[in-house]
Amino acid sequence: MGLFSNRPSRTRSGRIIEQMGTLALSILLGVIVWLIAINQEDPIVQGEYTNRIPVTVRGLAENLLPLQDLSDESVRVVVQAPQSSWDDLEVTDFTAYIDLSGLDADTHDVEVKVEVVDPKVDIQTITRPMMIMAVKMTISVEFPDGFWTITSGNYVRRRWAR
C-alpha cells in the first residue's frame, strides 16, 4: 500500500467540472481586460454641458395659456458620455421641456425633462429641475380685425395675418 492509495481517482466528470471552472475564470478575465481596453480607447467623461438648452412646453390644452414667457427660459445639464459622443454633442441634440398635459388653470410646480438624441449620453443632473408655471384658461373670439383672447379677466389682443 502506497501513500496515495486512499486517494480517490478523478473521474471524467470531475475533470470536466474543473475545466469548466477554468473556462469561466478565463472568460471573466477576458471581459475585464476588454472593458479596460475600451475605456482606455474611448473613456467615459462626465461634466457640465456648457451650452444652455431652451425649455419648451408640451401637452398644453387649447383652452389654456401659460402666463410666463418661456422664450428666455433654459437649463444646463451634467452629462456622462464616452469621449467620442461628448465631442460630437450639439445643443440641437438636446430637448428640454415641461409637460403640462392634464393640468388645469392654476399655478403648478412642473418637472423639467431633458431628452438627448445619442443613447450613449446619460443625463446626470439638470440645473433647474423644477419650474413654477402659472396656467390660465382662455377664450378666443374672432373679430374682423383679428382675435381677442380673454385670459382670466385680462384682455390680450392678438392680431393674426389673414
Tell me, yes or no, whether 65 lies in a domain: yes
Residue for grid cell 383679428: 146
Note down the domain range covering 59.
44-134
pLDDT tens readout for residues 72-102: 889 999 999 999 899 989 999 999 999 988 8
Query: 73 with 131: CB under 8 angstroms?
Result: yes
From 63, 136, 149, 61, select the one nearest 159 (Cα to Cα): 149
From 121, 118, 75, select the one nearest 98 (Cα to Cα): 75
From 148, 145, 1, 131, select the one nearest 67 (Cα to Cα): 131
Query: 55 with 94: CB under 8 angstroms?
Result: no
Choose the weakest-confidence range: 22-36, 99-113, 133-147: 133-147
Who has greater pLDDT, 15 or 75? 75
Domains held by the chain: number? 1
Tell me, yes or no, whether 61 lies in a domain: yes
Q: How far apart are CA 30 and CA 24, in angstroms?
A: 10
Residue for grid cell 477576458: 30
User: Does the pLDDT at position 16 exceed 50?
Assistant: yes
Q: What is the pLDDT of residue 76?
A: 94
Tell me, yes or no, whether 34 lies in a domain: no
Per-residue pLDDT band for 140 (boundaries 50, 70, 90) equals: low
Q: How far apart are CA 147 and CA 141, in angstroms?
A: 6
Tell me, yes or no, whether 20 lies in a domain: no
pLDDT tens readout for residues 23-34: 888 899 999 888
Q: What is the pLDDT of residue 162?
A: 41
What residue type is assigned to position 36 of the chain?
Answer: I
CATH no. for residue 91? 2.170.120.30
Q: How far apart are CA 95 and CA 104, in angstroms?
A: 24
Tell me, yes or no, whether 98 lies in a domain: yes
Element (H, E) at 81: strand 77-82
Per-residue pLDDT band for 8 (boundaries 50, 70, 90) equals: low
Q: How far apart are CA 23 and CA 4, in angstroms?
A: 29
Tell me, yes or no, whether 10 lies in a domain: no
Tell me, yes or no, whether 58 lies in a domain: yes
Q: What is the pLDDT of residue 116?
A: 94
Tell me, yes or no, whether 121 lies in a domain: yes
- Inter-CA distances, 131 with 92, 111, 114, Å: 22, 6, 13
